[in-house]
């Protein structure tokens, strides 16, 4: 009765390397492929343990660290090019996630597609940025500072492809592909000191971004999705490497 919550935790995607020793019995354990039960248990875990459980290294998911990420890296030629690095990043708001649907996780996980769907009312990003570039041949960019984003009504879908492997007579599930899809209603961005010597220009560029956020999202989406892919995959891979797949579900005797 102690291992399923670990699976649910990685489904939500909020931690790396959880080692399951014991776990509260207040979170329900499920049958293979019981998506309704899995979603309900995941949501109970989120509600009851937003700060994690230090005794078993279940890390908090109200503050999630994000790896440094080079979002744009154009060739530095011509009249317009950009370099944009994000670092020292955190996300806030994952504790308000609702898992809306889970598919797959059958007895043989390779026989069906695994999907995880969820939504967050507001996901907040805080971090640092470094920007270089040239706009319209005559405006050079060389700035760095704090960066803040609000993603409103953030919805995510994860599709997993997996295989199984055996170690010590135990079956483990290994992810070889994770594809995220993200949708949102609004993206509000602020970058401090984008033009360090001209605060009015800094305000103007932030206002331009926020008025035209859909166009910026469409342009940057491939890089953003690759970042989320590394985040979710890193969380899932480490735990599945340590916890046998069959230990995550009700035993046959408990399924009767």
User: For the purposes of burial, counting CB atoms within 10 Å of the CB of 10, is it exposed (0-12), middle (13-18) or buried (19 or more)?
Assistant: buried
Dist. CA 215–CA 219, nearest whole Å: 6
Query: What pLDDT digit, counting tens, does each position of 4-21 carry?
Result: 545 454 454 444 344 443
Confidence (pTM): 0.81
Q: From 163, 183, 180, select the one nearest 172 (Cα to Cα).
A: 163
- The torsion defined by the Cα of 103, 223, 16 and 53, in degrees rounded to 10, comes to -80
Query: What pLDDT digit, counting tens, does each position of 104-117 carry?
Result: 999 999 999 999 99
Q: What average pLDDT score do residues 84-100 get?
A: 92
Query: What pLDDT digit, counting tens, does each position of 46-61 carry?
Result: 888 888 666 545 567 7
Question: Please, which residues bridge with residue 177 across strands?
Answer: 161
Q: What angle do CA 171, 181, 222 make, to 5 degrees?
A: 110
Mean pLDDT of the chain: 83
Query: What pLDDT digit, counting tens, does each position of 115-160 carry?
Result: 999 999 999 999 999 998 876 555 778 889 999 999 999 999 999 9
């Amino acid at each position: 009765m102690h291992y399923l919550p670990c699976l649910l935790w990685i489904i939500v995607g909020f931690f790396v390397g959880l080692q399951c020793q014991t776990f509260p019995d207040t979170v329900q354990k499920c049958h293979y492929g019981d998506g309704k039960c899995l979603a309900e248990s995941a949501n109970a875990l989120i509600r009851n343990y937003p700060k994690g459980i230090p005794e078993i290294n279940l890390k908090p998911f109200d503050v999630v660290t994000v790896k440094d990420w080079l979002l744009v890296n154009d060739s530095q030629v011509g009249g317009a090019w950009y370099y944009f690095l994000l670092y020292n990043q955190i996300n806030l708001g994952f504790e308000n996630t609702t898992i809306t649907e889970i598919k797959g996780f059958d007895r043989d996980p390779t026989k069906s597609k695994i999907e995880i769907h969820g939504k967050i009312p507001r996901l907040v990003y805080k971090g640092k940025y470094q920007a270089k570039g040239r706009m319209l041949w005559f405006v050079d960019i060389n700035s760095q500072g704090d960066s803040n984003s609000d993603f409103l009504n953030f919805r995510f879908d994860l599709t997993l492809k997996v295989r199984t492997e055996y170690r010590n007579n135990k079956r483990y599930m290994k992810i070889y592909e994770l594809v995220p899809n993200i949708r949102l209603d609004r993206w509000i961005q602020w970058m401090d000191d984008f033009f360090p010597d001209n605060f009015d220009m800094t305000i103007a560029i932030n206002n331009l971004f926020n008025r035209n956020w859909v166009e910026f999202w469409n342009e940057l989406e491939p890089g953003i999705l690759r970042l989320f892919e590394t985040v979710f995959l890193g969380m899932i891979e480490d735990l599945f490497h340590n916890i046998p797949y069959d230990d995550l579900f009700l035993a046959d005797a408990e399924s009767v």
